Structure 1
């Protein structure tokens, strides 16, 4: 089937469901992300955060905030998701966060020419940072 592209897409921003939004904001701030926007309920509970670092945007939303609205969304902590993030100056970035996060792998030169390292975030998602040199 040949589908004609109606409108080109501009970007993708995954909305990642988490249990603890405050801990997630703290963790991603350690990785150099800044809080660009947030949603708080009338009761003062933070349920959504938009975080950015350069052109990378992640949305984080509490699982509790969608309970009963999207019953198909369910997960235990973590999941079969790897977020692959392209960066410049990977060695410098690695040195900046080394010692600040747990589960950091060593820098590795891959067979396909990238220098990479991985870590597990506070929600057990796997993040791989890569520079194609």
Structure 2
């Protein structure tokens, strides 16, 4: 697996619940290391790195500068999929839909995860 240039690591309230949520959406979760007490997980989508999730308390211990930062984010993440229509149809009953829009000819399906992170699904581009 080729590591990305930037790897998001999201603080979450319950790592296992977040992993379960994303697995229902077609992601695969891997442990990030060999420490059984460390709940950092790597999430893959289509066999490629997508993001990491880490319990908020552990993330705050790891980086004390985040100690007062709430879970969730101001902003959004995008997930490019091979078949937009099929993927959105499959996940729609599993998520809280935030917005559906067509912008410059591209359709985007926004939903929130368990901790309020916003994910925008769009068709993967070939160029």
**TM-score normalised by the chain length of structure 1:** 0.77
Q: Which has the higher helix share?
A: 2
Q: Is the 8 A contact 2:19 2:29 kept in 1?
A: yes
**Partner Cα separation in structure 1 for residue 60 and residue 101 of structure 2:** 40
Aligned partners of 1:113 and 1:50: how far apart in 2?
A: 32
Q: Give the match for residue 83 of structure 2.
A: 89
Query: Highest CA radius of gyration, 1 or 2?
Result: 1
Unaligned runs of 5+ in 1: 1-8
Offset, 1:56: 4.2
| Cα displacement (A) at 1:100 | 1.5
| TM-score, normalization by structure 2 | 0.80
> Partners of 1:46 and 1:80 in 2: how far apart?
26
Equivalences for residues 35-114 of structure 1 within 5 A: 35-39=29-33, 41=35, 45-54=37-46, 55-73=48-66, 74-101=68-95, 103-105=96-98, 107-110=100-103, 112-114=104-106
Counterpart in the other structure of 2:108: 116
Q: Secondary structure at the match of 1:104?
A: strand
Say whether the 8 Å CA contact 2:25–2:91 is kept in structure 1: yes
Return the offset for 1:77. Answer: 3.0
Q: Gaps spanning 5+ residues in structure 2: where?
A: none
Superposed CA offset, 1:56-106 (max 9, x none): 4211111221444422114223120300122221110011112122x2146
